[in-house]
Amino acid sequence: MAIDLHKGTPSTPRPAVDSAQKGAAQGLRLRRPGLAERLLFTERLLLLQDTGVSLHEGLKELSEQERDPEMAEILQRLLTDVLEGQPLSQAMAQHPSFFPATYVALVAAGERGGFLPQVLRQLLDLDEKSERLRSLLTSALSYPAFLTLFSAGTIVFVLVGVFPKFAVLFEQIHDQLPWTTRFLMQLSDLLLHRWPWLLLGLATLGLLGALLWRQDETRLRIDRLKLSFPGLRQIYVQVYLSQTLRVLGMSLSHGVPLVEALRACQDLVGNRVFRGFLLDLRQQVTEGSGLAQGFERSDLMPPMVQQMIHTGERTGNLATVMTRIAEHYERELAKRLALVSRLAEPVMLLVMGALIGLIVASLILPIFKLSRAIR
């Protein structure tokens, strides 16, 4: 009998997924296992560890009860490697797309020190905070995105469904029409009669954008732009600092060497400018310079962070200081995103109202002119 982690009741082991079922499930899957799946894996493995189940037995339970074929394959490979005598961290390192370098480094530290359950508990907390941060960013951007799509849909409906009905009337006073009306009539004609060319142009722009996005120089410029605008700069820096410093603080508190922790954090942040800062920081530490000196040289770091890192390095409490800074910026980021979300609603409503008002005025003013001409 096996413990069913989905229901908490005894169950018999599930049969292996055959190749046909696996292929069908992979065909239906929209994405590969990611943060949510790793969070669930860590939680279940920690539960088994806390109840006294050995590591290989726990991995066997998880692989037998996993319903997703790709995730079950990862768990089966972990079990095979562990049974062959490899450490869990080394087995996890064979799956870098699912277990990031920071995760592997912390598990290795827990194995060396004999406190793997404590590390798993903190990794679970770290992934939960990452998931909350992602949900916070998504919720802050979802409503403005909805208003933008709704406004665009309303404008297209008016141009396609309303404007053509007035085109014949407006032909009598075409020379007297406001420029906004003439522009909207041309746009309406484009959407109605030349939409294949419009779709072709949009597809071409999309293809060119995709090709440009694959170039390192383009992505570097975009990453620089993210850190150039005053409003966005603070948000992005807070996101990167909260992610990086929390992982660094956790790594140092468990005995992971600073150089190794910095190397692992380079893959944590997607922004290439900030990643370059971490690379320079690691090189300076490797050459014997202090961590605080590297923070002070960067113009990305707020003065408070530079001072606190300097104090933490001088007093020997660097791990604690980094964790405190990460918690501070997580709270500040939540407040800032909530403020942006509250301000975005009235701003988007004003923009949408102004556009709709412009379209209505472009219809009503010519009608008044037409009525005077008839009189």
Same fold, 2-99 and 129-375: yes
Using the predicted structure, report yes or no on whether residue 83 has a pLDDT greater than 70.
Answer: yes
**What is the reported pLDDT for 372?**
65
Res 373: pLDDT: 59
Q: Is the pLDDT of residue 338 over 60?
A: yes
More confident: 102 or 336: 336
Pick from 6-15, 36-45, 63-72: least confident:
6-15
Place of tokens 């979300």: 341
User: Is the model's pLDDT at 50 over the cut of 60?
Assistant: yes
pLDDT at 370: 67
Tell whether the model's pLDDT for residue 3 goes beyond 60: no
Helix ranges, the chain (H): 19-28, 35-50, 55-65, 69-83, 88-92, 101-113, 116-161, 163-170, 179-193, 195-213, 216-226, 230-253, 258-265, 272-286, 291-297, 303-315, 318-374
What is the CATH number assigned to the segment(s) 129-375?
1.20.81.30
Q: Is the pTM of this model over 0.85?
A: no
CB 251 within 8 Å of CB 261: yes
Q: What percent of the chain shows pLDDT beyond 70?
A: 88
CATH topology of domain 2-99: Receptor-associated Protein (1.20.81)
pLDDT band at 27 (very low <50, low <70, confident <90, very high): very low
Most confident listed range (30-39, 55-64, 247-256): 55-64
For the chain, the structural domain boundaries read 2-99, 129-375
pLDDT of res. 77? 92
Q: Using the predicted structure, report yes or no on whether residue 20 has a pLDDT greater than 70.
A: no
| pLDDT score recorded for residue 374 | 59
